[in-house]
């Protein structure tokens, strides 16, 4: 079984967010425990598993994502990685439709290799700052939003880009204040540098202290910043150590996420599923 490591939301190796990708020959997934053990062995923020579906249905591939500790409902960067592998290996062309736990997702690959994902927009609900959140972050939130059922993060607006970049949060305490994780964000200090807002994402409850670039979080960041900046098409910089750019286009109840990807490792899983 081939296994690939793909760096996403970047056009350079060793940056962006790496994901494991396994394209299965069978028409079913292995049992959950087996998939979880493989994801734990790969030990990246997500490992994607995909298998082909019969022609004529509403989707072309079934897709699931696992962190080292659990399965998740929605993952942007590992979907981008899967679409990249399908196209670069010739397993798929044109628009690819994925059946996932969060519904039907699609990907379109441009001639230059950039990939656009069509994801559901996350519903935002303002809420009071949870007790202990400011202390865990080491910064005072300007606002807090719940991001709905599929991603389950708290979206936390901070005062400025420098505060987002300089955070050294108490990861263990953050695990007590959200269902999945905490995404912090602020407007770009200088939009002339090529991005409109910055973010960072911390997900200790699913085994990820800090995620390098979180595609799914941008389904919440897109409506949040589009409302404030008055534009539907934006670019976000996730300011992790590896860093990456996500181009977002808000289309009502759908959000388009566009980014690049590069395969950095192509190997073989020396055990059967």
Nearest to 260 by CA among 94, 88, 122, 121: 88
Secondary structure string (H, E, C) spanning 239-270: CCCCCEEEEEEEECCEEEEEECEEEEEEEECC
Cross-strand bridge partners of residue 238: 199, 244
User: Could you tell me if 19 and 5 are in contact, meaning their C-beta atoms sit under 8 angstroms apart?
Assistant: yes
Indicate which residue of 41, 46, 127, 157 is catalytic.
Answer: 46
> For tokens 């589009």, what's the residue?
226
Annotated active-site residue 161? The verdict is: no
Query: Is residue 63 a contact partner of residue 80, using CB atoms and an 8 Å limit?
Result: no
Closest CA to 237 of 210, 209, 200: 200
Helix (H, G, I), strand (E, B) or coil at 78: helix
Question: Active-site residue numbers?
Answer: 46
């Amino acid at each position: 079984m081939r296994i690939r490591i793909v760096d996403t939301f970047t056009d350079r190796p060793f940056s962006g967010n790496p994901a494991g990708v396994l394209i299965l020959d069978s028409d079913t997934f292995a049992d959950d425990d087996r998939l979880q053990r493989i994801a734990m062995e790969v030990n990246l923020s997500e490992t994607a598993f995909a298998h082909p579906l019969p022609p004529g249905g509403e989707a072309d591939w079934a897709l699931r994502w696992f962190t080292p500790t659990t399965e998740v409902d929605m993952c942007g960067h590992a979907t981008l990685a899967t679409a990249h592998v399908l196209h670069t290996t010739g397993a798929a062309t044109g628009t690819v439709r994925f059946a996932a736990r969060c519904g039907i997702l699609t990907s379109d690959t441009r001639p230059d290799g950039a990939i656009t994902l069509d994801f559901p927009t996350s519903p935002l609900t303002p809420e009071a700052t949870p007790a202990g959140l400011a202390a865990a972050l080491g910064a005072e939130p300007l606002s807090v939003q719940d991001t709905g059922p599929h991603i389950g993060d708290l979206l936390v607006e901070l005062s400025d880009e420098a505060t987002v970049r300089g955070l050294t949060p108490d990861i263990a305490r953050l695990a007590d204040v959200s269902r999945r994780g905490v995404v912090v964000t602020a407007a770009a200090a200088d939009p002339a540098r090529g991005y409109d807002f910055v973010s960072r994402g911390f997900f200790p409850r699913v085994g990820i202290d800090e995620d390098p670039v979180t595609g799914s979080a941008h389904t919440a960041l897109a409506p949040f910043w589009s409302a404030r900046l008055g534009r539907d098409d934006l670019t976000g910089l996730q300011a992790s150590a590896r860093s990456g750019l996500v181009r977002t286009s808000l289309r009502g109840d759908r959000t388009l996420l566009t980014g690049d990807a590069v395969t950095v490792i192509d190997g073989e899983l020396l055990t059967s599923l």
